[in-house]
């Protein structure tokens, strides 16, 4: 793995396609030599020693005597750069032919194409960031709401890293004391304060408990709350889907069974990410394609965090409707009584009397009545006010950290019990080492190649 650090790598760091500007990044031991060989500034080439740190140069990318493009070039010398190595960023015109030509020129000078996330991986391997911060870079790139951006920024700034490192340092000091007592056991030297150690471990347990307290919130916060929009055919599911999105994403007709697939689109409501899923109408059908759509709707329904059950308020109540609503017992469900602009045959009171506890919102897609109330109801159902507070005030863990810190809590608990039970020093040392290893796994002081591959596979090429 460390051999990879000797390669010079390059990649396009801005999205592919035509644009006003594109940024090509180069990093590695030969980055400045490559720059010297392809960049002309003030009609002359510079040696690697002449490139100044944190300077922006105007000039031309050249291939021999041929000028390829007029560019701006930023130079950052290692170790004071993002990757910890000499780094060059060339800002050229965003034409795909130009980009390809410049990249091929850089390849011809000895660089290779960077893998996904390899720039950030080098930043980690060179000690510029830890693993928690590296994951935060990916979270920042993929953030789809302001709250997600804020949480990622806090992690990138090292808020969680510092908290875990403080715990690890305390445990390392405790382990050192235990091992010192083992080394001098024959001399009868005892410097281990058991009660003080238990107090420290109790504080660790409280901190870990606080970090893990809202772990169930982590996955939907990062991936979005899955909202399955279901109900009978022609109830207006696709119309509500489009209205909530603010665009005509789903086809709407008066023909029953228009929707055959599951359409998924994200929407942000008061900082929280929801993934709306428009589904086929729930009914028995002999049409093979529509039947597949109904099966997909049932699957989306079973995997949803929240069900938005749409009912045509202008249609009569049916036994099938009762059966469907009864089947949703145990799932978080909001009933949207649609078409309230038409003569009403089903009222909110009727639904609530038949199914006490169900939340019912009267809406009209045609007039817009009730849509704001529907949005507020969705937010309330996922605990929006509390979740906004958690995201602003607490640390939101990802699944890797939840798993590691849960195991750390177990090991700290085991160490505390060993202290209480008067376990031999060798057992105390073993328990302390295992707990410390988990702290180090969290921050990346201890890692495996597979773990890094798994984390950095989330990154795009160029980051």
Whole-number pLDDT of residue 286:
55
Q: Is residue 16 part of a domain?
A: yes
419-451 residue pLDDT tens = 999 999 999 999 999 999 999 999 999 888 888
CATH number for position 124:
3.30.1360.120
User: Do both 88 and 11 map to the same domain?
Assistant: yes
User: Do both 205 and 250 map to the same domain?
Assistant: no
SS3 call for 368: coil
Q: Which of 24, 21, 22 is nearest to 34 (CA)?
A: 24
What pTM does this model have?
Answer: 0.78
132-191 residue pLDDT tens = 999 989 888 888 888 888 888 888 888 899 999 999 999 999 999 998 888 776 555 566
HEC per residue, 228-267: EEECCCCCCHHHHHHHHHCCCCCCCCCCCCCCCCCEEEEE
CB 31 within 8 A of CB 7: no
Q: Is residue 170 part of a domain?
A: yes
Number of domains in the chain: 3
Q: What is the mean pLDDT of the chain?
A: 86
CATH number for position 303:
3.40.50.300
Res 296 pLDDT > 80: no
Which residues constitute the domain of residue 124? 2-130
Question: What's the mean pLDDT in 210-236?
Answer: 83
- Within 95-168, strands assigned E span 112-113
Neighbours of 302 (CB within 10 A): 10
User: Do both 256 and 368 map to the same domain?
Assistant: yes
Backbone phi and psi for residue 124, each to the nearest 5 degrees, phi listed first: -70, -50
Whole-number pLDDT of residue 68:
95
Whole-number pLDDT of residue 63:
92
User: Do both 274 and 153 map to the same domain?
Assistant: no
SS3 call for 362: strand
């Amino acid at each position: 793995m460390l051999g990879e650090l000797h390669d010079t790598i390059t990649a396009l760091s801005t999205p592919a396609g035509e644009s006003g500007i594109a940024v090509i990044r180069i990093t590695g031991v030969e980055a400045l030599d490559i720059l010297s060989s392809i960049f002309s500034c003030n009609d002359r080439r510079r040696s690697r020693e002449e490139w100044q740190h944190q300077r922006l140069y105007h000039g031309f990318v050249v291939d021999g005597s041929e000028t390829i493009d007029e560019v701006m070039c930023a130079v950052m010398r290692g170790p004071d750069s993002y990757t910890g190595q000499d780094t060059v960023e060339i800002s050229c015109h965003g034409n795909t032919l130009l980009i390809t030509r410049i990249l091929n020129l850089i390849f011809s000078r000895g660089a290779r194409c960077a893998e996904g996330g390899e720039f950030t991986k080098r930043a980690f391997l060179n000690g510029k960031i830890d693993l928690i911060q590296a994951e935060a870079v990916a979270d920042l790139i993929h953030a789809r709401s302001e709250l997600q951006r804020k949480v990622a920024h806090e992690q990138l700034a090292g808020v969680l890293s510092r908290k875990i490192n403080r715990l690890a340092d305390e445990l390392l000091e405790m382990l050192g004391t235990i091992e010192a007592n083992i080394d001098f056991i024959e001399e009868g030297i005892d410097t281990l304060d058991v009660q003080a150690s238990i107090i420290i471990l109790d504080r660790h347990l409280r901190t870990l408990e606080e970090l893990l307290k809202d772990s169930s919130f982590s996955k939907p916060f990062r991936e979005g709350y899955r909202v399955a929009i279901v109900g009978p055919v022609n109830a207006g599911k696709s119309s509500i889907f489009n209205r909530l999105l603010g665009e005509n994403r789903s086809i709407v007709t008066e023909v029953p069974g228009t929707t055959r697939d599951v359409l998924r689109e994200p929407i942000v409501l008061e900082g929280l990410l929801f993934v709306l899923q428009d589904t086929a109408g729930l009914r028995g059908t002999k049409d093979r394609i529509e039947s597949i759509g109904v099966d997909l709707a049932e699957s989306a329904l079973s995997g949803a965090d929240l069900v938005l059950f749409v009912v045509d308020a202008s249609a009569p109540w049916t036994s099938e409707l009762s059966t469907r609503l009864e089947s949703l017992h145990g799932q978080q469900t909001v009933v949207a009584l649609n078409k309230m602009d038409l003569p009403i045959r089903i009222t909110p009171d009727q639904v609530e009397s038949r199914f006490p506890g169900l939340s019912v919102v009267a809406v009209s897609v045609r007039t817009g009545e009730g849509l704001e109330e529907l949005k507020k109801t969705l937010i309330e159902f996922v605990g929006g006010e509390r979740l906004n507070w958690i995201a602003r005030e607490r640390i939101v863990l990802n699944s890797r950290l939840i798993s590691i810190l849960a195991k750390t809590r177990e090991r700290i608990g085991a160490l505390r019990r060993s202290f209480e039970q008067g376990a031999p020093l060798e057992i105390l040392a073993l328990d302390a080492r295992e707990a410390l290893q988990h702290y180090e796994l969290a921050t990346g002081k201890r890692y495996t190649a597979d773990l890094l591959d798994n984390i950095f596979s989330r990154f795009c090429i160029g980051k």
